[in-house]
Amino acid sequence: MVDEQVARISISIPVDLLRRFDDHIKRLGYESRSKAVQDALQSLITESKWMCEKMGEGIGAITMVYDHEVKGLEEELTDIQHRFENIIPSSMHIHLSQDNCLEIIAVKGKGQDVRDLAQELRTKKGVKHIKLAIVTP
Ligand code: NI
């Protein structure tokens, strides 16, 4: 961040979106709108850049909530993870409630493989939420 030039821009944005953005960043503790917008832009670039570069490295985590009462699902999800063991350095399983399990799967490997893994998990019946968060060092 040394010698960084700063540009001033003017953008159009729906009033409601801006109000929600301002409410939200206040709760997050941002002192200025500029800093929040910069962070939002950086997130968008990081995420979409990785999505566009198929062969890039994907480092991050898959967070997934599933219904463990669905017959055979837990086994199926485990089988999938075994097939992708080369890109899963670690995972954590948390029993959330009577029927819900949370799994956090660390991923590190070829972007395409990471995406394939997330996609396979996502399509299983009983998987309620799945989020792939990629971080770029
Ligand atoms: Ni569980």
Q: What is the pLDDT of residues 13-44, one digit of tens each?
A: 999 999 999 999 999 999 899 999 999 898 87
Q: Does the pLDDT at position 48 exceed 90?
A: no
| Neighbour count for residue 76 (Cβ, 10 Å) | 18
Closest CA to 76 of 13, 129, 133, 125: 125
| Cα 125 to ligand 1 centre (Å) | 16
What integer best gives the mean pLDDT of the chain? 89
* Whole-number pLDDT of residue 43: 81
| Cα 132 to ligand 1 centre (Å) | 20
| Cα 63 to ligand 1 centre (Å) | 14
| Cα 106 to ligand 1 centre (Å) | 17
Handedness of CA 42, 47, 51, 55 (dihedral sign): positive
Query: CA 137 to CA 127: how far, in whole Å?
Result: 29
At the fourth CATH level, which superfamily is domain 57-134?
Answer: ACT-like. Chain A, domain 2 (3.30.70.1150)
At residue 27, the 3 state secondary structure works out as: helix
Going by pLDDT thresholds of 50, 70 and 90, the confidence category of residue 134 is: confident
| Cα 111 to ligand 1 centre (Å) | 28
Q: Does the pLDDT at position 82 exceed 70?
A: yes
Q: Delimit the domains of the chain by residue range.
A: 15-52, 57-134
Q: What is the pLDDT of residues 93-112, one digit of tens each?
A: 999 999 999 999 999 998 88
| Cα 95 to ligand 1 centre (Å) | 4
| Cα 81 to ligand 1 centre (Å) | 15
* Whole-number pLDDT of residue 90: 97
* Whole-number pLDDT of residue 115: 87
Q: Does the pLDDT at position 50 exceed 90?
A: no
| Cα 107 to ligand 1 centre (Å) | 20
How many distinct helices (H) and strands (E) make up the chain? Answer: 4, 4
Query: CA 80 to CA 73: how far, in whole Å?
Result: 11
Sheet (strand 100-110) strand order: 90-95, 100-110, 57-67, 127-134
| Cα 134 to ligand 1 centre (Å) | 24
Q: Does the pLDDT at position 2 exceed 60?
A: no
90-95 vs 127-134, strand pairing mode: unpaired
Q: Does the pLDDT at position 1 exceed 60?
A: no
